[in-house]
Amino acid sequence: MLLFVGLGNPGAKHHGNRHNVGFHAVDAIARRHGFSPWRRRFHGETAEGSLGGLRVVLLKPHTFMNESGQAVQDAARFFKFGEAEVTAFHDELELPPMKLRVKVGGGIAGHNGLRSISAHLGNEYRRVRIGIGHPGLKDRVHGYVLSDYAKAELPAVAALCDLIAEHAALLAEGRDASFQNKVHLGMQAKGFGLTEDGEGK
């Protein structure tokens, strides 16, 4: 049994924000794999289903990003999840837009949602890092992550979330490298690949 956590901020005004791409990823998983309807609990919303023959709980914390760890801790205690059973889907400034990387543990790179989870749960959980790019200047980061994706970016965001959902069973099975590769190749096939310098094409 696993816990997949999508990070974001609740409320309509934040729906399209770059910071909310984690919410969109787990929403796509729930839709594609016929998960149960979302229900309010653990300071957020959960949906349950299976991936790769394993039971998976999806969680969207409604505590706002900076307190995401409270919701994760509550769910982890209820289901008796350890760090190894938890995966966080989150926006990543240090990756080019639409690039994806999976890792276990490591630094939090200033991400307040990860900081909160690490404070409540420990640091050795898996992260699905979804690139949003960097605005270039540190003082622009706050406004950038809380701004909506540009209209031109939306098809690529939808394609990426669909591919995350399509191959989510690989994550459930612990086949992180295969998952990452399938998503990367899928984005290329859809015309949203990246060139060698990391720029979109």
Query: Counting beta carbons within 10 angstroms of the beta carbon of residue 92, is it exposed (0 to 12), middle (13 to 18) or buried (19 or more)?
Result: buried
Residue 199 lies in a domain: no
Annotated active-site positions, please? 19
pLDDT tier at 201 (50, 70, 90 boundaries)? very low
Return d(Cα 1, Cα 122) in angstroms, integer. Answer: 19
**Mean pLDDT for the chain?**
93
Query: 7-30, pLDDT tens digit by residue?
Result: 999 999 999 999 999 999 999 999
State the total domains in the chain.
Answer: 1
Per-residue model confidence (pLDDT) at position 129: 96
- Mean per-residue pLDDT for 170-195? 90
- Mean per-residue pLDDT for 95-117? 91
Residue 201 lies in a domain: no
Residue 151 lies in a domain: yes
Above pLDDT 90, what percent of the chain?
89
Query: 27-82, pLDDT tens digit by residue?
Result: 999 999 999 999 999 999 999 999 989 999 999 999 999 999 999 999 999 999 99
Residue 196 lies in a domain: no
Q: Where do the H-state alpha helices sit in 109-167?
A: 112-121, 141-145, 154-166
pLDDT tier at 138 (50, 70, 90 boundaries)? confident
Domain of residue 107: give its range: 2-189
CATH number for 119:
3.40.50.1470
Residue 197 lies in a domain: no
Per-residue model confidence (pLDDT) at position 156: 96
Per-residue model confidence (pLDDT) at position 98: 93
Per-residue model confidence (pLDDT) at position 110: 78
Q: DSSP letters along 7-34, please?
A: ----SGGGTTBGGGHHHHHHHHHHHHTT
